[in-house]
Amino acid sequence: MSGAGRPGAGWWLLLLPALVLVVVFYVAPIAQVLTISVTEPEPGLGNYERLFTSPAVQRVILTTLRICIITTAIALLLGYAIAYAITLASPRARGWWILAVLVPLWISVLVRAFAWVTLLRRQGLVNNTLLELGVIAEPLPLVWNEFGIIVGMVHYMVPFAVLPMLASMREIDPRLLAAARGLGASRGEVFRRVFLPLSMPGVIAAGVLVFIFSLGFYITPAILGGGKTLMVAEWIGLQILDLVRWGLGTMMATMLVVAILLTLAVFSRIVDLRRIFGAGG
C-alpha cells in the first residue's frame, strides 16, 4: 500500500508482537543452527569441507536431488493431466474432481506411508496379485528403496502440483482456444501452441513448490526407504539424534535452507512468486 504519510511510531508498536514471534521462533533457531555448524566440534569450516571430501555426504545430496527431481517431474506430469481434466470438466464434475484431489491432503502422512508399505512390500497386495497372475516369479523390490520413496512422495505431492496449475489454467480465456481453432489449428496444435504456453506459469510454480517441499521430506522417505536409502532430512536426524554429530547435522540443515533459497531466487526471476504463494500483487 502506498499511504500518503510515513507510518508513525504507533504502527511499529502494533507490529512488535509479530516481529518478536518471528525472531524468537524462526530467526533465532536458524541463526543457532548456523552457529553450531561452524563451531562444533571445533570452530571453523571443517563441517563444510566434508561437502567436498566425504563420499557419504555427497551420496546423500545426490540421492536427495535425484529423488526430488524425479518426484517433481512425475508429480507435474500427473498433476498436469488432472488439472487439465478439471479445467475441461463441467462445473458439477469439477467440484467432485477437486474434492478427490484434496481428500488425500487431509489424511496423515504417516498413515499414507504405511498404506504404501502394505501395498508394496514383498507379501503386499501388488506383489501377491502379480505372483498369482503369473506375471512375475519372484516378488519385486518395490519398497525400502528409491522406487518406494518416489511412489510415496509423488502420491503426497500431486495435490500440491494440481492446485497452482489449475489456478493458472482457469485463467486462460476459452475464447483463445476457439480462436486458435477458427484460425486453422487442430486440437493438438491448439494445446501445444496456445494452452500449454499459457499454462506454463502454473507449471513452473507447481514445480518450485513440489521440489522445495520434496527437498526437506522426512516421514515418507524414512518409512518407505527403510533406512537403506537416505535423503537429507533423515540423514540430518541420524547425525543429530543417533550419532550426536551436531556440527555435521546443522551443516546439512544450513545447506538445505541455502538450496531452498537458491531455488526460489532462480525461479523468482522467471515467474512472479508473490502471485503463486498467494501474497496479493
Partner 1 sequence: MSEPKGHALALLSLTKKYGDFVAVADVTLDVGRGEFLTLLGPSGSGKTTILMAVAGFVAPTAGAILLDGRDITPLPPEKRDFGMVFQGYALFPHMTVAENVAFPLRVRRLPRAERDARVRAALDLVQLEAFADRLPRQLSGGQQQRVALARALVFDPALLLLDEPLSALDKKLRAELQEELKALHRRVGRTFVNVTHDQEEALSLSDRIAILNHGRLVQAGAPGALYERPRTRFVADFLGKSNFLEGTVWGPAPGGFALDVGGARLAVRLPDGESPPAEGARSLLSLRPEKVALLSGEESAENIAEGRILAFAYHGTGFALRVETAHLGEIRAILPAWKAPIAPAEGLAVRLGWAADAAVPVQEDAA
Residue ranges binding partner 1 (CB under 8 A):
173, 175-176, 178-186, 189, 193-194, 197-198
Closest CA to 106 of 161, 159, 152, 166: 159
Nearer to partner 1, 95 or 197 (CB): 197
Q: How far is the CB of 209 from partner 1 (least distance, A)?
A: 22
Minimum CB separation of residue 189 from partner 1 in Å reads 5
103 Cβ contact partners less than 8 Å away, ≥ 6 residues apart: none
Within its chain, how far is the Cα of 243 from the centroid?
28
Q: Which CB, 193 or 274, lies closer to partner 1?
A: 193
Strands (E) located in the chain: none
Our CB check for partner 1 shows the closer of 50 and 181 to be 181
Q: 271 and 265 in contact (C-beta within 8 Å)?
A: no
Nearer to partner 1, 51 or 177 (CB): 177
Buried b (16+ CB within 10 A) or exposed e, 156-171: bbbbbbbbbbbbbbee
3-state helix, strand, coil in the chain (%, to 5): 80, 0, 20
Least distance in angstroms from the C-beta of 177 to partner 1: 9
Q: What phi and psi, each to the nearest 5 degrees, are found at residue 227? A: 80, -5
Residue closer to partner 1, measured from CB, 175 or 228: 175
Q: Provide the residue type at 75 as one letter.
A: A
**Residue found under cell 523390490:** 141
Give the nearest distance from C-beta 187 to partner 1 in angstroms: 8
Query: What DSSP line would sit under 220-234, residue for residue?
Result: HHHHHHTTTS--HHH
CB nearer to partner 1: pick between 55 and 184: 184
Q: How far apart are CA 24 and CA 47, in angstroms?
A: 26
Task: Name the minimum Å distance from CB 264 to partner 1.
Answer: 24
Report the nearest approach of partner 1 to the CB of residue 199 (Å). 10
Give φ, ψ of 144 to 5 degrees.
60, 35
Q: CB of residue 235 vs partner 1: minimum separation in angstroms?
A: 42
Beta carbon nearer to partner 1, 105 or 179: 179
Q: For partner 1, which is the closer residue by CB, 132 or 173? A: 173
Q: CB under 8 Å to 68, separation ≥6 — which residues?
A: 211, 214, 215
Count of residues in the chain: 281
Minimum distance between the CB of residue 182 and partner 1, rounded to whole angstroms? 4
